[in-house]
Structure 1
Amino acid sequence: MEANLDSDPSGPIDKSRVMSVKPLRCLVPIFPSQAGSSASPQAPPFAFGAPSGSFPPGAAQFFPFVGSNEPPRPVNVAVPDQGRSTTNAIPSPVPLNSFRTPPANTSARGRPRGSTKTHVHEQYDDGYAQNDSYENGFTIDTEDSSDAAKRKRKARKIVKGPQAVAISNSEVDIDHIVNNLLRAFNLVDINTSLQADSDHDLVERVVMVYNLLRRKIMQLDDAKGVIPGISRRADLRSGTILMNKNARANTKRRVGAVPGVNIGDVFFFRMELCLAGLHAPIMAGIDYLSFKVSGDEEPIAVSIVSSGGYEDDGDDGEVLIYSGQGGVQRNDKLVMDQKLERGNLALERSLHKGNEVRVVRGIKDGTSITGKIYVYDGVYKLHESWIEKGKSGCNVFKYKLIRVPGQPEGFMLWKSIQQWRDGAATRVGVILPDLTSGAENTPICLVNDVDAEKGPAYFTYSTSLKYAKPYQSSKSLSCKCSNGCQPATNCPCVERNGGYLPYSNGGVLLSHNSVIHECGPSCLCPSTCRNRVSQTGLKLRLEVFRTKNKGWGLRSWDPIRAGAFICEYAGEVIENGSDSDDDYILDTTRTFDPLEPVTTDEHVKPLFPLIVSAKNKGNVGRFMNHSCAPNVYWQPILRENEEESYLHIGFYALKHIPPLHELTFNYGTPPVEKKTGPQKKKCLCGSTKCKGFFY
């Protein structure tokens, strides 16, 4: 037992003065990092995995996002490629276990001897865990580098043939992947001053790396299959690794707004808030500065996360009634009142001091039963506090916060969108409630609240790509997964994707390969198979809207998480794109900026000869404008049907996209021989990375 005593520790213990008593935790989450491991500087970045399976005859391999003229090399494992020999050895392992019982040679606090320890936060004491369930007193343990090196040498081997389907984390060098990601995104040895007071670019890069790593770890866990008794938390483990690598933003604790984080920015994991410097604890709802940090005699609250774990009430979007932390009803029916300590005390002191407090709103994620979407809603000020009886019967602290005026819309925008959905309010400027005339699963409205334009030029709405003739496939590789394709199986569709399923259960793309092999018409799996994500139609509520200076554009009422499928680029496959009047061409022979930053200015010339025109026939993808700093990218998707192959173009979110933010992608640069056709056009993307023109 641990006790908090006011008496002299050298004297007798006065048991009547015990302030609080808590049982020691017997299970401590242990997340070894990979200290001491190094990756070859020539190794490719994480997302540049090599494809598996052969391309249709006459179509050369290509990847529009690689920044070198060498063919992409596999990063994680050696995988079979239609019978060709595999020569790339699997990098050394760094197993990342989830919650587990500490080994016998650990200290009383559950830390392996010889390891170093880093505290993420002093305490995680929110009695109502919302989206993330962590143990109190969470710590991060880093593994001794010599032990890691021994395991790497032991597991260094080559996997060939069907064995590659059952690859586990123990056979993949996570540290190698992490180091490549950090180098690619310039997150190694970050400038100290920039890390303390970060800009939006750094915050964005940190969150993007976190999501790339998290999704990759999810995919690796997926391939291992379900292991009873093992709780996998890729979100927590990825954040732990980046914290140990010091790949984070806004390390300086502060009162008020955080540099580089905009009001309305969305986050899908509490760890993202921590890495961005917006809210330090990964569980507790109240973040505060202790007197050791602030220099004040009393703690000061700096941010709160209101995500429905308590009886909060803030439906008007400007006033938030926030419940304090602590206070539980135990299994033995004993009710414990909340105490004026830690976060509660910090909020009370902030009320009297009048300092601003950042507010993050937690909103239910419609794509997940228990998930939350976290929206930064700006700064508030505390106006009053009181105590009342909660539903459980215990005394609860209540705090009234009012949003500081003059800030951009945050949570209020979400409320407006919900009213449009419910029909409680009318969307201003609607020209057509559904420009698809029912062709899509979800209506797509046409909106103009800028000028008198009544709509785009006439075109025929088509939901898919129209081929004159398909590619010929060497052989049929149809699956027989009647219940849908599953990881860690001998499914040929899984094998064609390098031994992994490309999508999560929620339909998020887990890694970026040169081509995604989805199940085709001849596969026996159902339409709900998780390897048919792009074939199930639109899931987002999109709208085509009139921009101020770029004509028509595309945006979403829904928040979009990184890696989510948005839509296909529908249209007609044509022989060439020489028509200079066609502004709706997607030409894969163009050169595209790399998906991830690279250290060279060279770009690969994509060789896959697919040119799509959406001028006369197309879908909402045709309205997506160019940007030099896009939030969307495209990937080729291959579907096979017996001896025929069909290539499709899918749009995916490059990063988290808040509602009503314009969706854009990079149009690319045409080859030299085609530059005589399309002329340079003035770019109006408005980003800090704008080149001033595009083709």
Structure 2
Amino acid sequence: MEHSLGQDSIPGFGSFDKSRVLDVRPLRRLVPVFPSPSSNSSFSTPQGAAPFVCASPAGPFPPGVSPFFPFFISSESQRPLQQNLQTPSGIPNENQPFGFSNPISNAVPINSFRNPPPPSTPNQSTGTSNGGDTTPSRRITRSRVLPQPQRGAAEEDGFSESVVDAGNTRKVGRPKGKFQSQKRTRGGQDINVALPDVDIDAIVHNVLTTYTNTLRQTDGNKESVGYVLVCYDLLRRKISQIEEMKEGIPGVSRTGRSDLRAGTLFMNKGIRTNAQKRIGTVPGVDVGDIFFFRMELCLVGLHAPTMGGIDYMGVKNSSEEEPLALSIVSSGGYEDHMQDGNELIYSGQGGNAGNDNRKDKETKDQKLERGNLALEKSLHRGNDVRVIRGIKDVSNPTGKVYVYDGLYKIHESWVDKGKSGGNVFKYRLVRLPGQPEAFTVWKSIEQWKETNTTRVGLILPDLTSGAETFPVSLVNDVDGEKGPAHFTYIPSLKYSKPVNLTEPTAGCNCTGGCLPGNSNCPCIQKNGGYLPYTANGLLVNQKSLLHECGPSCTCPPNCRNRVSQGGLKIRLEVFKTKDKGWGLRSWDPIRAGAFLCEYAGEALNVSGIGKLGDDRADDYSFDANRTCQPLGVLPGDSNETPNVPFPLLISANTAGNVARFMNHNCSPNVFWQPILRENKNESDLHVAFYAVGHIPPMTELTYDYGMIPYEKAYQRKKICLCGSIKCRSFFY
């Protein structure tokens, strides 16, 4: 095709507007058109398949064939170009969506994914969301390869993979008839591996239909941002769980990073919030919020590029358009100076100023273009710039924790020589006063870990007296109270007498630890064929009853199915609240699905607490028979509400652990999970707590105490002070 975009080269059909200005891209970036493979074969080009299809650029197209970009024209792209709106101050109240200025799909972030969704045809299997959006039955999306080194997620997230399988309606796991349960040797064990069928697209559709009204809003809020992040990480963990079952199986390959794949699915379905680019604060995102993946920043509208460190947009200025910086990510990949909590020296993008500074590489100067030019224009324009700081994740040596540190202004810029010898643009940003502390909190915690004596209001450096792996501080910087009433610290639940099981049970024989996909493991069988935890110890989703390995199992203490055992894995602090007595919070950032602690104390029968004869019994007890809304599940998994096999009451009045200090909240950030450990013929039931979403350091940890049956409504009500928009005004 000599004139791929010439006026005479496009056959006329329908109401195609030849006068429109298209977002043109080189032919070398187009995707080849091949026929869909036969669904009855596991090969990509089955024997006897149809030959290569040659279709006109504008169609019509045979079954399974999609049009080349740019010949695909969506109804959305036929609309006039959106104009930038300006406020009287000259700073725009941006209504420009993430992505290109003339977006192919509003659900695609800038500098991330390039292929537009093909139109739905009667010959394609499509999923339809509310509002008439359609998605292709199968699509491969790849990260854009940028021509120059970028301030990107590759070095910041600790990953280098760039290929993502969007897989809109493709099933993750074993396609029907393709893989059979087969015996393999993995980790020194002979195991039977069975990959289950899981329709990931159906899960995403459930999220979309459940929260359509909330997620379709132009401006988000705390509720919509929370929904997006929690559902995204639940899906990411689910994909990780399935992908980990493929490890070590010949002929079965993993389909890519779970964070990118889950993010691509969400973006393609439009499951996001704050889709319009804007200068300044982002509705629903608070200073100090944390993120563990760059994709999360994009989904909530905080920072659009999933690879670039500088986000910017074009703004009309007099007769021409100029770029203005919206946000930056600084995480140590470049020569930034980021130790000061209120000031940041930020290096520009491009050149070879990043981590890839080999001695044999040609020295390149940075250019005053793209993000660098946007920062320079923002210096003269004086607009606010959002700053996200990437901090090393102590639980993942190659990962980062991204902290939103608030709004900054650029005060000056200059050119300096980088370590590679090339010229590097430098920008000094100063934090605006009056904002909540964020990065400075992390700096303070670093000092406390070195010497706890610097902690203001410290009463005890370790109230556990060495009973836990990590010390638990006792702090009161509110009033003069010297601590809670005396109790004995015990790290786990104690049964005064055994509770016999109705059916005998036996533990597993996994000598090296339980492995994903092992259908021979009875502990995995009881969990529905899955290991309930990911490789890094995150609970995939809340379950009605979780089965962990126990004393009857031969697996070692570090088995992946013993996460809730062995005590605390994060640094916690008991502190005095302003109006709710003593509370609990963490020094460490907590990931969604992470184990916090179990509820320790004495296991009692149904009438046990009533016999204690102490008014404080209700304040330090846990009733596993109460009902509460499931929090750690994706929409549609309504059957995963906690269901204990027998009435369990726990008293922590005289003996307990840190869990006794967790306060109630009607919109909690923690949920509880009943866990049954294999212990011969005895019922070894425990209650463990996990994070609903990501929790920043020094944030109070709370859970929903639950509702009691109507016949027990005579119990004393307590006024709720949680302050949630969903507050029930009282709890028991």
Note the C-alpha offset of 1:427: 0.5
Structure-2 residue corresponding to 1:367: 395
Residue aligned with 1:298, SS: strand
Structure-2 residue corresponding to 1:569: 599
Aligned-partner Cα distance in 1 for 2:622–2:694: 24
Note the C-alpha offset of 1:333: 2.2
Structure-1 residue corresponding to 2:447: 419
Q: Which runs of 5+ in 1 are unaligned?
A: 1-21, 33-91, 98-102
Note the C-alpha offset of 1:512: 2.0
Structure-1 residue corresponding to 2:414: 386
Between the aligned residues of both structures, percent identity stands at 55
Aligned-partner Cα distance in 2 for 1:27–1:559: 42
Aligned-partner Cα distance in 2 for 1:504–1:166: 17
Letter in 2 for 1:611: L
Matches within 5 A, 1:186-225: 186-190=210-214, 192=216, 195-225=217-247
CA contact (8 A) 1:555 1:662 kept: yes
Structure-2 residue corresponding to 1:114: 66
Structure-2 residue corresponding to 1:13: none
Aligned-partner Cα distance in 2 for 1:293–1:134: 38
Note the C-alpha offset of 1:633: 0.6
Q: Cα deviations across residues 464-492 of structure 1 (Å, max 9, x unaligned)?
A: 11112333343343222232211122322
Aligned-partner Cα distance in 1 for 2:297–2:262: 13
Structure-1 residue corresponding to 2:706: 668
CA contact (8 A) 2:351 2:422 kept: yes
Structure-2 residue corresponding to 1:100: none
Note the C-alpha offset of 1:246: 0.7
Residues 420 and 153 of structure 1, relative CA distance in 2, 3 Å threshold: closer
The answer as to 2:501 corresponding to 1:475 is: no
Note the C-alpha offset of 1:222: 1.4
Letter in 1 for 2:198: V
Structure-1 residue corresponding to 2:206: 180
Letter in 2 for 1:266: I
Q: 1:255 aligns with which of 269, 279, 302?
A: 279
Letter in 1 for 2:719: K
Structure-1 residue corresponding to 2:683: 645
Structure-1 residue corresponding to 2:652: 614
Aligned-partner Cα distance in 2 for 1:600–1:366: 32
CA contact (8 A) 1:379 1:404 kept: yes
Aligned length: 591
Matches within 5 A, 1:347-358: 347-358=375-386
Structure-2 residue corresponding to 1:680: 717
CA contact (8 A) 2:642 2:674 kept: no
CA contact (8 A) 2:220 2:273 kept: yes
Q: 1:547 aligns with which of 574, 577, 586?
A: 577
Aligned-partner Cα distance in 1 for 2:369–2:294: 23
Residues 347 and 635 of structure 1, relative CA distance in 2, 3 Å threshold: same
Letter in 2 for 1:368: N
Aligned-partner Cα distance in 2 for 1:463–1:434: 13
Structure-2 residue corresponding to 1:690: 727
Aligned-partner Cα distance in 1 for 2:317–2:509: 60
**Which is further off, 436-445 or 580-589?**
580-589
Q: Which runs of 5+ in 2 are unaligned?
A: 1-25, 45-50, 56-63, 73-103, 113-143, 185-190
The answer as to 2:525 corresponding to 1:487 is: no
Structure-2 residue corresponding to 1:584: 620
Structure-1 residue corresponding to 2:322: 298
Residues 309 and 604 of structure 1, relative CA distance in 2, 3 Å threshold: closer
Aligned-partner Cα distance in 2 for 1:482–1:602: 33
TM-score, structure 2 as length reference: 0.74
Q: 1:342 aligns with which of 347, 367, 370?
A: 370
Residue aligned with 1:385, SS: strand
The answer as to 2:340 corresponding to 1:316 is: yes
Structure-2 residue corresponding to 1:53: none
Structure-2 residue corresponding to 1:508: 538
Aligned-partner Cα distance in 2 for 1:551–1:346: 49
Note the C-alpha offset of 1:330: 6.5
Structure-2 residue corresponding to 1:7: none
Q: 1:377 aligns with which of 382, 405, 408?
A: 405
Residue aligned with 2:412, SS: strand
Q: Cα deviations across residues 164-210 of structure 1 (Å, max 9, x unaligned)?
A: 974437x2111112222334xx4225475xx2211111101110110
The answer as to 2:575 corresponding to 1:535 is: no
Letter in 2 for 1:120: P
Asked which structure has the greater RCO (Cα within 8 Å, sep 6+), the reply is: 1
CA contact (8 A) 1:167 1:224 kept: no
Note the C-alpha offset of 1:535: 0.8
Residues 272 and 339 of structure 1, relative CA distance in 2, 3 Å threshold: same
CA contact (8 A) 1:479 1:493 kept: yes
Letter in 1 for 2:546: I
Q: Cα deviations across residues 574-627 of structure 1 (Å, max 9, x unaligned)?
A: 112436641112111112123259899999895641111111110000000001
Structure-2 residue corresponding to 1:168: 195
Give the RMSD, CA atoms, in angstroms.
3.8
Letter in 1 for 2:295: M
